[in-house]
Amino acid sequence: MIPVILSGGNGTRLWPLSREGFPKQFHQLASSHSMFQETVLRCSCEIFSRPVVVCNQDHRFIIREQLSALGLSAQSILLEPCAKNTAPAIALAALQIRASGSDDVMLVCPADHLIKDEKEFLRIVRSAAKRAENGDMVLLGIQPDHPETGYGYIQRGLEYPSEQGRIYSVRSFKEKPDREAAEQWLETGEYLWNAGIFLFKPSVLLNELRSFAPQVLEACERSLQEAERDFEFVRVDRKQFIQSPSISIDHAVMEQTNLAKVAALDSGWNDIGSWSALWEAGEKDCEENVIKGDAILHSTKRSLVFSQSRLVTAVGLEDIVIVETADAVLVADKSDTQSVKKLVGILKNEYRDETLNHREVFRPWGSFDSIDRGDRFEVKHVSIKPGEQIAMQKHNHRAEHWVVVSGTAEVTCNGEQFLLTENQSTYIPIGAAHQLHNPGLIPLEIIEIRSGGYLGEDDIQRIVSEQDNSSAMDAIRELEALTLAKEKVAS
């Protein structure tokens, strides 16, 4: 089987932890691995080949870093230039697999789901794969244990003989219900939650798309024909891809095909779609509180406290969510955490950068953390990986002071090259062409002090030589991604 991992979501209901630049699937919410890494590991046993990943182009380096940390790699990393929902994303993966000469069953998994009983999950997947090999399109449906109003439902029909799991025909698909309908459906025992996990052969999916959603298929075919390929990255053509309708695979195909089947799964599944869902999945103390990070609670019950950078205390609270990050704090009623998405919309209307990035921002060469800022200054902690460098550039509106905290810095400034070691510093004037390289074997840590009339990240003029052109392309694309992100906030 070929795992197809969908990693295009932004997880806005988990703000302020999840943001466009670093969404929830890349965070460690339930273990020492991120949810994306847990999904990859779940699909890395002997029955699977290397995965195909579909992600937002802005997250490509995060994907590569997190795969590398596991010692794993992908067959392909397909980069979507914009979000078009799941049908186009899965169509891209199927086309890419077919282009490689394979028609093995695809296991399509969102990158941000929690599955506690992975042994049971794999047992059901093996059973469902046998149906998929024979031409069926199989969904995984979760056996509900409470009347949930935040999920879509699948009404199952007749049961098919199966040695390893319960597989049924599909009678109907249901949108998210109100409380009364959810209670009725739970009582009948005929309904399963739609997990958004699918198994089918690429050829079967493409045939059904051709019948039911030809505009999706045609746009994806053209966008892949004109894609740019850079090692494992496949950069889908934006002009062609945006012509695809934005539609889910459920609406595009699964609700219309007569090939749909559903396999019942009971494996401790949770999509961690809200802070209340994380509370449900978390390990609780004697007062039914879930605590992550540095937090002390008194006379507080059934609450979630998530602390990322400092001590959080709470007294006399019940059914409350408190989430602290370095630059934002959320306090919410646990029963209303679905409304966090609306709050993020308000923040976007206010042009708040906190919807895009965390205070610490990751780049292919390392990271930077904004420590302090005023009207005409900004202080950053910059970390550069061994052997990496920041591209040659200059700034038209700011000067920079660099102080080396640890490691060795190779600095180029206006053609002069020199080394700085711990506790040494240098000054980069406005307009000076400069580059920073870490030639050492340990991370280079510096404090950067910016001063000037404009301190934005887009005050960068790249200086690219012919020999540096290929490596500089990623840096240029970083700037393009930053510009697109700003346009998203403005729009």
> Given pLDDT bands bounded at 50, 70 and 90, which one contains residue 331?
very high
- For residues 275 and 264, the answer to whether their CB atoms sit within 8 Å is no
Residues 69, 71, 75: CA angle, nearest 5 degrees: 110
Host domain of residue 260: 2-270
Whether 352 is covered by a domain: the verdict is no
Check: CB of residue 87 under 8 Å from CB of residue 209.
yes
Picking from 426, 437, 483, the residue whose alpha carbon sits closest to that of residue 460 is 483
Residues 232 and 315 in one domain: no
Question: CA–CA separation, 438 vs 436, rounded Å?
Answer: 7
Residues of the chain with pLDDT > 90, as a percent, come to 67
pLDDT in tens, 423-433: 999 999 999 99
Residue 354 lies in a domain: no
Instruction: Report the relative pairing of strands 320-324 and 360-363 from DSSP bridges.
Output: unpaired
**Is residue 351's pLDDT more than 50?**
yes
353 is a domain residue: no
Whether 376 has a pLDDT exceeding 80, the answer reads: yes
Q: Which is higher by pLDDT, 433 or 149?
A: 433
- Residues 159, 124: one domain? yes
| Judgement on whether residues 312 and 454 belong to the same structural domain of the protein | no
pLDDT per residue as tens digits for the range 242-260: 999 999 999 999 999 999 9
Same domain as 473, residue 373: yes
Q: Residues 381-405: what's their mean pLDDT?
A: 94
Residue 351 domain-assigned (yes or no): no
pLDDT for 360 equals 84
Domain identity same for 286 and 305: yes
pLDDT computed for residue 163 by the predictor: 58
**Worst-scoring range by mean pLDDT, 6-20, 158-172, 250-264, 430-444?**
158-172
Range with the poorest average pLDDT among 97-111, 139-153, 424-438: 139-153
Clarify whether residues 250 and 299 are in a common domain: no
Same domain, 31 and 116: yes
User: What per-residue confidence (pLDDT) applies to 230?
Assistant: 80
Residue 419: per-residue pLDDT: 95
Are 51 and 2 spatial neighbours (Cβ–Cβ below 8 Å)?
A: yes
Token pair for 254? 């699964």
Q: Are residues 306 and 415 in the same domain?
A: no
Both structure tokens of 222:
């053209």
333's enclosing H/E stretch is strand 329-333
Same domain, 386 and 486: yes
Confidence of residue 469 (pLDDT cuts 50, 70, 90): very low
Instruction: Give the integer Cα–Cα distance in Å for 294 and 311.
Output: 5
Same structural domain, 143 and 227: yes
Q: What is the pLDDT of residue 464?
A: 67
Listed residues 230, 247, 270: the one ending a domain: 270
Higher pLDDT, 52 or 21: 52
Q: Which of 346, 379, 397 is the last residue of a domain?
A: 346
For residue 262, what pLDDT is reported? 93
- The percent of residues in the chain predicted with pLDDT above 70, rounded, is 93
- Over residues 126-145, the pLDDT tens digits come to 999 999 999 999 999 998 88
Query: For the domain that residue 380 is a member of, what is the CATH number?
Result: 2.60.120.10
List CB contacts of 259: < 8 A, sequence separation 6 or more.
135, 136, 137, 200, 204, 208
Does any domain span residue 367? Answer: yes
- Locate all alpha helices (DSSP H) within 356-453, ordered by sequence: none
Q: Per the domain annotation, does 159 fall within a domain?
A: yes
Of 432 and 359, more confident: 432
Q: What is the DSSP string of 252-270?
A: IIITT-S-EEEEEE-S-EE
Examine the fold and report which residue of 270, 298, 323 is the final residue of a domain before the chain moves on. Answer: 270
Which residues are within 8 A (CB) of 47 and not within 5 positions of it... i.e. 6 or more apart?
1, 122, 126
CB atoms within 10 A of CB 257: 19
Over residues 215-223, mean pLDDT:
96
Q: Specify the higher pLDDT residue, 30 or 17.
A: 17
Mean pLDDT over each residue of the chain, to the nearest integer: 89
pLDDT tens digits, 26-58:
999 888 899 999 999 999 988 999 999 999 988
Answer yes or no: do 265 and 288 share one domain.
Answer: no
CATH number of the domain at 100, please.
3.90.550.10
DSSP letters along 166-205, please? -EEEEEEEEPPP-HHHHHHHHHHT-EEEEEEEEEE-HHHH
For residue 412, tell me if it sits in a domain. yes
- Count of domains observed in the chain: 3
What does the alpha-carbon distance between residue 296 and residue 450 come to, in Å, rounded to a whole number? 37
Residue 162, pLDDT score: 65
- Predicted local confidence at residue 243, as pLDDT: 94
| 149, 177, 301 from 184: Cα distances, Å | 12, 10, 30
Least confident stretch, 82-86, 242-246, 359-363: 359-363
pLDDT band at 472 (very low <50, low <70, confident <90, very high): very low
Query: Which of 50-54, 234-238, 484-488 has the lowest average pLDDT?
Result: 484-488
pLDDT at 457: 80
Which range is most confident: 43-52, 166-175, 294-303? 294-303
Mark whether 292 and 255 lie in a shared domain: no
In terms of pLDDT, which residue wins out, 360 or 450? 450
404 within a domain of the structure (yes/no): yes
